[in-house]
Amino acid sequence: MKQAEVRFYSELNDFVAPWRRGRATAYTFEVSGSVKDLIEALGVPHTEVDLVLANGESVNFSYRVKNDDRISVYPPFEAMDISALVRLRPQPLRGLRFVADGHLGGWRHICGWLGSTPSITVTMRTRNWLAFQPTNDGFC
């Protein structure tokens, strides 16, 4: 059996089992798969991940996990520019946008009153809408 050490950071801990939260834990495997497969096998959607380090080096989702690897998985960064490190997509995930269903359209006005103008407001009528839009993430 092969083994890798995996740690999830910040809000990604919401997706993993309680005993894996906030610490590095062992992940045992027989056949080496991609780091994307490992992340999703542990319950974290890969769309929530902005940076993956394998043994301290930034890697993409196709990286093959090896025996004794140390894998660190990070959500989008708020206060640091990590564009030079990211290997998962052309740009980091952040660039927050406000997305609302039709019945939440009033939130756009409330945000405006509070001095926070959302960069985009989208009204969705069906789940199929996201299938035809250039988005990284979407929830219905």
**Which residues, in sequence order, are bridge partners of residue 26?**
5
Taking residues 63-89, report their average pLDDT: 82
Residues 6+ apart with CB under 8 A from 18: none
Mean pLDDT of the chain: 76
How confident is the model at residue 26, as a pLDDT? 95
**Which residues, in sequence order, are bridge partners of residue 8?**
73
How confident is the model at residue 42, as a pLDDT? 95
Query: Tens digit of pLDDT for each residue in 27-57?
Result: 999 988 999 999 999 999 998 998 999 999 9
Q: Which domains are seen in the chain, by residue range?
A: 2-74 (3.10.20.30), 100-132 (no CATH)
Amino acid of residue 80: M
